[in-house]
Chains A and B, each alone.
Chain A
Amino acid sequence: MGLLRYTLLDILRARRRTLSSILGVLLAISFVAGTFIAIDSSTRATLDALLANLPGDFGIYATGNTADIRRVVTNVSGVRELSLYSQVPAQELSSPAVSFTWYASVLGIEPDHLPVQLKDATVVGSLDLPRGSIGLPTDIASGLQVGLGDRVSLHYRSFEPVNQTEIVTSLNLTVTALLTLAGTGGFPGPIIGPPSYYGPIAVVHIRDVDWISEQLLITGQTYQTVGEVWIHRSRFIDPYDLESTNRNLARFERALSLALSPYFGSTVNNLAYALSNYEGTIAAQRILYLGLSVPVILLGLYLAAIGVDLGHAERRRELAVLKARGAGTRQVTGLLVLEATFGGVLAAVLGLVLGILLSRFLLGVVNPFGLASAPRYEDFVLSAQTIVTVSVMSVLLMAAVSYRSAKRTSALPIVETLRYYAPGETQIPYRPTGDIVMVGLAATIFAGVLYTRFGSPGAALFLFGIIFVVLLPFAPILLVIGATRLLTRSTGRVYEWTARIFRPLAKNLYHVISRNIARNPRRSANVAVIIALGLAFGMFVFATFGSQQSYNVRLLRDSIGADVAAYWAPPANDMVIVENLSRIQGVAGVTRVARVPSETRPGGATAIAIEPAEYFAVTQPESYYFEEGGSAEAASVLSTPGRVLVSKGYFENAFLALGDRIQLTTYVFNVTSGNTTRIDTNVTVAGVVKGLPGTGSSYQWLVFGSFGTLGTLLPPSGDPFRTIDMQFFVDLSPGADWRAVKDAILKEGPISVRVFEEERAALFEQPSQRAFLGFIGMEIAFVVVILTVGLGLIMVAATFERDVEFAGIIARGSSGWQTASLLVGEAFSIMIVGLLVGVGVGLVSAYVTLQLTQLTPPGYPEPVVPLLFVLAPEGFVLIAIAPAAMLLAALLVSWRIARMNVARVLKLRGG
């Protein structure tokens, strides 16, 4: 306890040394604190995102007059909005234009209070819905071949048990609205309550539900009125006080139930369910982002180890004197650890302050859920949980980091330490065993993963390989630390080589650089490890990100098939569609792709009909689709009648060979005669492809033929009794505006239109991906901060230890800048080692990890689209920026040396 005061005084008065000791932990803690504060401050926004897309805050079911139900519900205090709807017990729709029926849920809605699924629908016509009118979804209208003003019939089928006959009643309705529903965005999880409708939705006015039932002679069936209730959320929900929130909601639900009791009503609390996941969501966010922060924490720890070691080294004489005056070794150890602990408290306080600032930048990237256009963030929220977590982490990290150095420093012999250089410091025994084990382990893990990926192991070995997969995240860390330490501590030659690179600048002093670095191999190794860890992390992220992004884009392209893919509800006149699409401005080419309804022998394959020349011109497949040759060869094969290409999966698993015959069979039912006719077509396997764009993955067994070869299996264009699954691929002209083309295509009435450029942009807008990539980007920026600011300050601290040495060199004839070049050269040499190890390990780790995504169980075919190794451009920027920033820091530090007052430094005499 007597030394407590000494401890505190030392921390508060030796501010530079304290700062360099706690800097690493401070930076790591700041990042963690900033992340947690950002999560807390975006709690309201997170809650908004979780509660978005709910089908009402509350759902209600009631039986009775709609107007009365509306009145009693809206009278409940807190109700902001109510949407009621009721389902008509008839679903069958037909039109004079087609001979078959379509099915849809017919909902009676309140046009002024639309249910959530219809709120963002695009409406052509009017939703006033006068009596006798109906609103149809565009796909059903297209199928029924009706438009605005046309008539459709709504049918109700009932069974008359006495006569055992089916009774069909019909009601003619006029189409007054065409609806295209917007994507709902999905609900955050399973929900209880409305909507209780499925499939396509047709709409009538809710007041006409009973009238329609009367017209259709529907008796004895009464569907409940369903409602979506929206409340004034700000009155009931406080994301920072869930207990009050749940109480408020329970009381509201009770009032609602009471109001509905005369109508046999029941309620569903959608908010409660979403909120029950909320606390877990926030906790999961903290854990997830804490895990993602591990690279920064690791770097901070290494930086802290250097800073603490420097602080102890600076004081070794003072500590030796302390021991000479009667302090025991344990007292000195305890003193140093206690100082580190207080330093941890200081780092926690400063870290929380810095974290508040940092949280402003992290706000937009800590929320993996979809956010509103104007997310509601608090100024900042510092929760007790954050304070406790950050404080405990900071103290424990500082104590852990300082313990070994404290033990080592306090055990130094007194008399040796009182000399200028303590031999024990420069001759620290190095045992490479641990580092060799780390490198070996990392290499084994990488090899295990690669063997599992490429070595075609059996099922048992494949399962064993999962062990390496689990260990994979540790491999890069083991490799960086082990390899860097082996390179920098087992031999001094590495520094000699790297110092030679700096020779043009250091000139005659270059050989001093490697000697200087070798004087404190442990510290040099730690600096190199920090650089290597930072760069490895950055390279890993950018290589993985770049490769995965590129892969996702190519997957998307494969999925769509071309610049645009459109689909019409059958039966569609495909030649007319092709002609119409070709006339659209901005369209360079159009082609048809049809799935041919047929059986194959050998069995199990799907036949795809394409127009060879047009298809390859529009889709422009990459070379990886082909086993041999390319588009020209494939088009040539398909242009020859009777010759087909097969997918690799089908070719290998059906044990086919080139030249084999495949029989395709289809059956045509004649409605008039009631007979079924069998049609066979024999084709020859003339080539193999891995797959073709827009036709499905390689897991499918596919046979590709031209329309000429497979034409006999296809129904005539527009045949209403035989439908084929046909897509239309569109190639855009260079510079064409895809939005204008899409609008023009939509006017032709397709069921769906997919645009590659549109979906590619949406790929990067997924909330979870945006948040994850944003956070990782911030983390990498912070890593660069650690590398520059952190290492720069450590270098400053290190120079104080060597002031007399540098002054001596200057006194012996070196210029200030020449001497400063020693520092820069040392930094450069260490940086080169860290750069090579970090970039190398980062890229290797990324490559091995990416192979995991291509891992398929034994016997499964390879995916068509390969995962190519791509380094995002930001990776090259990092390779340039990180070392440049470090060298800049070294230069700034060297400026102090260059301007040193030699006389003052060397003056040791009193007066």
Chain B
Amino acid sequence: MPNVWTKDLIKVHRTGKSEVIALRGLDMQVADSEFVAVRGPSGCGKTTLLNLVGGIDRPTAGRIEVDGANIVDFAEADLVRYRRNQVGFVFQFFNLVPTLTAEENIQLPMRLAGKPAAEMGRRTQELIQLVGLEKRAIHRPDELSGGEQQRIAIAVSLANDPPLVLADEPTGELDTKTGAEVLDLFRRLNRDLHKTIIVVTHDERVAKIAHRILQIEDGKIVGELPGA
């Protein structure tokens, strides 16, 4: 099971002549099957941290170890495999493929991994049931509500059964009730499937289900609060 560990993590965004230091030597550790919430003001580096741990961006300096492997040293092909098999990403704006149905969206990561059709079918049904959307499986994203889209997005992130799930403001675009449903789903993923979950959020309710809450300011972790 993964053990996520960052040391002296630095990320500088350069756009034209300007530089923004998003992370200033961030140290973090997340244990196996731990549910960690990351909070902080806008622009503090929360999303950047998630992007780096998720392998979709590279740090300027520092170290990120996931399950003992320093992903900073990964070649592009290794990162691809990492994103495919080790990490499931849940985005704020769902980011489902608009031309695919719900179950086709779920199958997509498995297709990328080259899974056989039978296994894809079985796993898809499993995940559809997990998120409780059996009756919406053949609908496309524009036919789903925001909550349904986010639940499908969560199912997509679990398609290849990654041990680590990263969620960036998963309830940011949802109303209170729907957000609560999604958070409950995350809780079940952690409790029942033992997924290590790191959630970036402003949602106060996450504190009730997360094991720990990390406070980030100016690109560094400045505090830690106990969770549920």
**Out of A2, A320, A910, which one reaches B111, CB within 8 Å?**
A2
Nearest CB in chain B: distance from A417 CB, A: 10
Determine whether the beta carbon of A324 is less than 8 Å from that of B80: no
Determine whether the beta carbon of A14 is less than 8 Å from that of B95: no
Which among A40-48, A326-334, A493-501, A828-836 touches the partner chain? A326-334
Cα A911 to Cα B173 in complex, Å, equals 9
Inside 8 A of A321's CB, which chain B residues have their CB?
91, 95, 97
A-B contact count (CB 8 A): 101
Determine whether the beta carbon of A317 is less than 8 Å from that of B51: no
Residue-wise, chain A 448-462 has the 8 Å CB interface mask toward B (1 for contact) of 000000000000000
Determine whether the beta carbon of A3 is less than 8 Å from that of B56: no
Determine whether the beta carbon of A9 is less than 8 Å from that of B100: yes
Determine whether the beta carbon of A911 is less than 8 Å from that of B77: no
**Out of B76, B108, B149, B160, which one reaches A329, CB within 8 Å?**
B76
Determine whether the beta carbon of B91 is less than 8 Å from that of A326: no
Interface residue B175 (Cβ < 8 Å from any Cβ of A): yes
Scoring A10, A318, A325, A423 by chain B CB atoms within 10 A of each residue's CB, the highest score goes to A325
In the complex formed, the residue of A with least CB distance to B111 is A2
Interface residue A427 (Cβ < 8 Å from any Cβ of B): yes
Inside 8 A of A418's CB, which chain B residues have their CB?
56, 91, 95
Q: Which parts of A419-456 form the interface with B (CB within 8 Å)?
A: 423, 427
Determine whether the beta carbon of A909 is less than 8 Å from that of B83: no
* Residues of B within 8 A of A (CB-CB), count: 45
Interface residue A322 (Cβ < 8 Å from any Cβ of B): yes
Interface residue A908 (Cβ < 8 Å from any Cβ of B): yes
Inside 8 A of A6's CB, which chain B residues have their CB?
100, 104, 108, 111
Contacts A324-B83, A326-B85, A326-B109 given; does A9 touch B99 at CB 8 Å: yes
Nearest CB in chain A: distance from B64 CB, A: 14
Determine whether the beta carbon of B83 is less than 8 Å from that of A326: yes
Nearest CB in chain B: distance from A801 CB, A: 13
For the side of the interface on A, what is the size category? 20 to 34
Nearest CB in chain A: distance from B162 CB, A: 9
Nearest CB in chain A: distance from B178 CB, A: 6
Nearest CB in chain B: distance from A709 CB, A: 86
Interface residue A413 (Cβ < 8 Å from any Cβ of B): yes
Determine whether the beta carbon of B85 is less than 8 Å from that of A910: no
Inside 8 A of A423's CB, which chain B residues have their CB?
15
Interface residue A747 (Cβ < 8 Å from any Cβ of B): no
Interface residue A5 (Cβ < 8 Å from any Cβ of B): yes
Q: Which parts of A318-364 form the interface with B (CB within 8 Å)?
A: 318, 320-329, 331
Determine whether the beta carbon of B147 is less than 8 Å from that of A910: yes
Nearest CB in chain B: distance from A12 CB, A: 9
Determine whether the beta carbon of B145 is less than 8 Å from that of A911: yes
Nearest CB in chain A: distance from B198 CB, A: 15
Inside 8 A of B100's CB, which chain A residues have their CB?
6, 9-10, 13
Interface of A is mostly: helix
Determine whether the beta carbon of B175 is less than 8 Å from that of A325: no
In the complex formed, the residue of B with least CB distance to A321 is B95
Cα A327 to Cα B111 in complex, Å, equals 10
Residue-wise, chain B 167-184 has the 8 Å CB interface mask toward A (1 for contact) of 000000111001000000
Cα A908 to Cα B98 in complex, Å, equals 14
Nearest CB in chain A: distance from B91 CB, A: 7
Inside 8 A of B111's CB, which chain A residues have their CB?
2-3, 5-6
Nearest CB in chain A: distance from B35 CB, A: 21
**Out of A3, A323, A427, which one reaches B16, CB within 8 Å?**
A427
Determine whether the beta carbon of A325 is less than 8 Å from that of B150: no
Inside 8 A of B51's CB, which chain A residues have their CB?
414-415
Nearest CB in chain A: distance from B56 CB, A: 4
Nearest CB in chain B: distance from A429 CB, A: 12
In the complex formed, the residue of B with least CB distance to A13 is B99
Interface residue B5 (Cβ < 8 Å from any Cβ of A): no
Interface residue B81 (Cβ < 8 Å from any Cβ of A): yes
Inside 8 A of A14's CB, which chain B residues have their CB?
98-99
Determine whether the beta carbon of B99 is less than 8 Å from that of A325: no
Determine whether the beta carbon of B95 is less than 8 Å from that of A909: no
Determine whether the beta carbon of B174 is less than 8 Å from that of A909: yes
Inside 8 A of B113's CB, which chain A residues have their CB?
326
Interface residue B146 (Cβ < 8 Å from any Cβ of A): yes
Cα A329 to Cα B144 in complex, Å, equals 30
Inside 8 A of A2's CB, which chain B residues have their CB?
111-112, 114-115
Contacts A6-B100, A324-B89, A414-B56 given; does A317 touch B112 at CB 8 Å: no
Contacts A6-B100, A9-B104, A331-B112 given; does A910 touch B149 at CB 8 Å: yes
**Out of B16, B80, B175, which one reaches A328, CB within 8 Å?**
B80
Q: Which parts of B8-47 form the interface with A (CB within 8 Å)?
A: 15-16
Residue-wise, chain B 144-161 has the 8 Å CB interface mask toward A (1 for contact) of 111111100000110110
Q: Which parts of A1-40 form the interface with B (CB within 8 Å)?
A: 2-3, 5-6, 9-10, 13-14
**Out of A317, A320, A325, A909, which one reaches B146, CB within 8 Å?**
A909
Cα A656 to Cα B57 in complex, Å, equals 87
Determine whether the beta carbon of B173 is less than 8 Å from that of A318: no
Inside 8 A of B149's CB, which chain A residues have their CB?
910
Interface residue B219 (Cβ < 8 Å from any Cβ of A): no
Cα A456 to Cα B91 in complex, Å, equals 73
Cα A5 to Cα B56 in complex, Å, equals 25
Q: Which parts of B73-106 form the interface with A (CB within 8 Å)?
A: 76-77, 80-81, 83-85, 89, 91, 93, 95, 97-100, 104
Inside 8 A of A908's CB, which chain B residues have their CB?
93, 146, 173
Interface residue B163 (Cβ < 8 Å from any Cβ of A): no
Cα A5 to Cα B121 in complex, Å, equals 14
Interface residue B2 (Cβ < 8 Å from any Cβ of A): no
Cα A705 to Cα B160 in complex, Å, equals 103
Cα A309 to Cα B130 in complex, Å, equals 38
Cα A3 to Cα B114 in complex, Å, equals 9
Contacts A318-B98, A909-B175, A910-B145 given; does A325 touch B108 at CB 8 Å: yes
Cα A320 to Cα B91 in complex, Å, equals 12
Cα A323 to Cα B77 in complex, Å, equals 11
Cα A911 to Cα B178 in complex, Å, equals 7
Contacts A2-B111, A325-B89 given; does A910 touch B173 at CB 8 Å: yes
Sample (19) of A-B pairs whose CB atoms are under 8 Å apart? A3-B112, A6-B111, A317-B95, A321-B91, A324-B89, A325-B84, A325-B89, A326-B80, A326-B85, A327-B84, A413-B57, A415-B51, A415-B56, A418-B95, A908-B173, A909-B173, A910-B145, A911-B145, A911-B147
Q: A325-B83, A910-B150 are in contact. List 20 more A-B contacts (CB 8 A).
A: A2-B112, A3-B111, A6-B100, A6-B104, A9-B100, A10-B97, A10-B100, A13-B140, A14-B98, A14-B99, A323-B83, A326-B80, A326-B81, A327-B84, A328-B77, A413-B57, A910-B144, A910-B149, A910-B173, A911-B147
Report the 5 A-B pairs with minimum CB-CB distance, sorted nearest first. A910-B146, A326-B84, A2-B111, A415-B57, A13-B99
